[in-house]
Every structure is written in C-alpha cells, then in structure tokens.
Structure 1
C-alpha cells in the first residue's frame, strides 16, 4: 500500500518522519510511506497535489496539519479529522453579506466534486481508523481575524476548524477518486492573534503522535 503524508510545511510532519523513516519507507514491503510538502495555501497545494496524484497514484493520501478553531470549548492540541470542507473566501462581500460561488450561481451546489455546497470525504468511514472526532472544516486564503467576518463564517457555514489547504485536498482527491483523510491538531482559536496563547508545539507533537499510531494501525490491518 502506497501512502503519502502531505503537509503545507515540513515542520508539521518532520517529527513523525524521523520515527517512521526506517520502519515504513525502508524495510516494510506491505506499507510504503512517502512524505510530501505541498506549500502553504490553496493555490500551492492544488498544483502540488495535482502533480502528486497524477504522477504517484497513491492508495491513500493523509493530509496532516495544524488548524485554527472556531469553538473556544475545544481544547488546544486536540486532534481531529475533517469530514467535509467548505470554500470560505471564494465569492463577494455585498451589502454586508457574504455571497459564495453557489449564492452567485457561478457553481451548482451538487455539481461534482461538490455535494450540497461542500466537499465531503466519502472514504472517512473506512479510513478514520482511530475514531477521531469528525468535524466540518473551512478553507481560506486569508486567515480570519475580524470578529464580524468570523461570526459571518460561523453563522453561514457552521465550520469548526479553519485551514488554508484542506479544500484543495478534498477537491482534487474527489476528482481523481483517490482515498484521503485530513488529520489536524488544534493550535489556536480563530481571531486570537496573541501567539503566546497558541499551542503550536503541543499541537504538532499531538498530531505526530496520532500519525504514528495511525500508520501503525494501517500496517496491522493491510
């Protein structure tokens, strides 16, 4: 089984690379793991992941990363999986309201790869092997900081976590029919710009601990 662990930055998977490099990329004949840096944001990720899918044709793509959270009751460092993605900033602000592609009738809500305006993961029931909490994600090119904008996104979409790359993964893998899972650790609450309150190190450590357990579980069942 060919698995690719992808992240926007090397720092998000570097700790787990050290742990897995010998076991799964060198000696195992049942499981081949490769690590991939997609770059930050939807544009870089879309180009990088499209090339990856067409050239490598993996059996499973694991997108790993940190994320901001809209829910202040969610503990920082919590590791979750994204069950569905939403495009959060493709559209127009008009008369104090946010109108996305579907509101503007530039895209049909159920036109592939979308389903009811979202990009769900149809392989989640198969690949959420650790039974991690399944949440709705929203992808943006500009991190949300303004209270009015944050409230707007929460009210319109009901997303719990925010990233800059998740929708690219969901869109491309749904188009290419490649199984995938998006695993993220909560590093901060959305709108909190005082990074002294963020838990980046703890989130990355928790994320990598889960990735090791996840790949080990895959190895045992495949």
Structure 2
C-alpha cells in the first residue's frame, strides 16, 4: 500500500518517519513549498501549519505521485493536537471518524452557520469506516477531529465547539485541508492525532509535546502498513472490492 502522511511541522514528520524505520539520512524529494521524506513504509511530508498550507503541499505530493505513475492509496493527516479532556486526555491518540472544518462558515445573530449551511462546498470529510475501526482496534480513540484556524484558548470556546460537535475528541489545524486535497484526487483519507494538551484555557506549561510525539510514533508502529498483517494493510484490503 502506497501511503502518504502529511504533518504540519518537521518534529511531527520525524516522529512519524521513525515509526517506518527511516534511515538517519532519508531520501528527500523537493515539492513546491515542502520536502517529502521517503521511508521504507511511507512518504512523510511536513506540509505547513493550517488548512491552506496543508492542502497545497498535500495536493502537490499527490499530483507528483500520479504523474510519476505511482499514485498513493491512502493519505493520513497526522501530528499532535488538543484533546477534549474527558474523551481524549493528554497522551491519548485519536483517530477521526469525521474530519470537520469547525470554523469555516459565518457568524449570524442566531449563531454559527457552517459553510454548507451557506450553500457552499462541504465542511465534513468521512474517512473509510474500515480504517477507523482498524485504528480503534489498535487502541486509538475514535471521534470527530475538528480543524480550526484559531486554536481554542478559553473554556467558553471549548464548550461552544462541543455543543456544535458533540462527538468531537480533538482539534488541530490541518486535517480538513489534507482531506480536501485527498478528496480532489479520489484518495481515501484518515486523521490521527496524539494529544499534547487539553482544549480550554491556554496553558503552555501544561503542554506535553515530547510525550505526544512519542505517542504518535508508537501509534504508527502499531498501524504500520509495511507489515502484511498490520491493521492498515488489513483495513485497506477490506476497501478493495
């Protein structure tokens, strides 16, 4: 299975690459605005922060692979993120059963209206259920993962997001952009996030970034498609008619 993993920043990229046995000096391929690392089990990209950068770099990687006659079978948006504490505490790893653009829309006198309510596009991508279930069986916490352009920093905003998205387990900044690029290329998408902090009042001293990066590596070791019997490989087989 040809796998592309899109992260935001190099520390996340490197955490994923370690799970796939990346050599000390991995092969690099330059793309517009990003560099792709090739490992034995996946190609891993630091696509940039936010949905626009993530969509642009992911689309560039997908286009390059298709033009080379070796397209990807699956795209995974991965990295660290905030978790809703009662559902995904610090140290947990979540898998999106819905990838939601949580702040793409309009504020109105009656409250927030998502972009679909305005009559445009979509605000949700749904990963294949077989992949989500494979990740759940490997110990990941399933639920909606919210893509936001402004990270939540107050209890009020956290409560507002949960009221609008009752199944949410985490938030991050790139998943929806990666999903938009994957959808445009007709490739299945998944999102995996290791929780580094609780969503709510911003407290940098409480963040556990190194531990979250270690958890991210461990999650991909469990899921690694380089092994014939791995959860991703088996799940991908279920998707083939």
Structure 2: distance between partners of 1:207 and 1:61:
16
What residue number does 2:215 align with? 206
Pairing of 1:77-92 with structure 2 (within 5 A): 77-92=91-106
* 1:101–1:140 CA distance, 2 compared to 1 (3 A): same
TM-score normalised by length of structure 1: 0.82
Per-residue deviation, 1:219: 1.8
Contact residue 68 and residue 163 of structure 1 kept, 8 A = yes
What residue number does 2:148 align with? 140
Per-residue deviation, 1:203: 0.8
Contact residue 96 and residue 132 of structure 2 kept, 8 A = no
1:81-104 per-residue CA deviation (whole Å, 9 max, x = no partner) reads 111111111222222611221233
TM-score normalised by length of structure 2: 0.76
Contact residue 85 and residue 119 of structure 1 kept, 8 A = yes
Unaligned runs of 5+ in 2: 28-39, 66-70, 234-241
Contact residue 72 and residue 189 of structure 1 kept, 8 A = no
Structure 2: distance between partners of 1:10 and 1:147:
30
Per-residue deviation, 1:9: 0.7
Pairing of 1:57-68 with structure 2 (within 5 A): 57-68=71-82
**Greater RCO between the two (CA within 8 Å, min separation 6)?**
1
Number of equivalent positions: 207
1:109-165 per-residue CA deviation (whole Å, 9 max, x = no partner) reads xxxxx4xx521112x414653422211011111112233332222111222210100
What residue number does 2:107 align with? 93
* 1:179–1:38 CA distance, 2 compared to 1 (3 A): same
What residue number does 2:189 align with? 180
1:68-89 per-residue CA deviation (whole Å, 9 max, x = no partner) reads 1123353211012111111111
Contact residue 145 and residue 193 of structure 1 kept, 8 A = yes
Contact residue 92 and residue 215 of structure 2 kept, 8 A = yes
RMSD: 2.4
Structure 1: distance between partners of 2:75 and 2:119:
32
Contact residue 145 and residue 190 of structure 1 kept, 8 A = yes
Deviates more, 1:85-94 or 1:198-207: 85-94
Per-residue deviation, 1:206: 0.7
Unaligned runs of 5+ in 1: 108-113
What residue number does 2:205 align with? 196
Contact residue 7 and residue 65 of structure 1 kept, 8 A = yes
Contact residue 88 and residue 141 of structure 2 kept, 8 A = no
What secondary structure is seen at the aligned counterpart in 2 of 1:75? coil
Contact residue 13 and residue 208 of structure 1 kept, 8 A = no
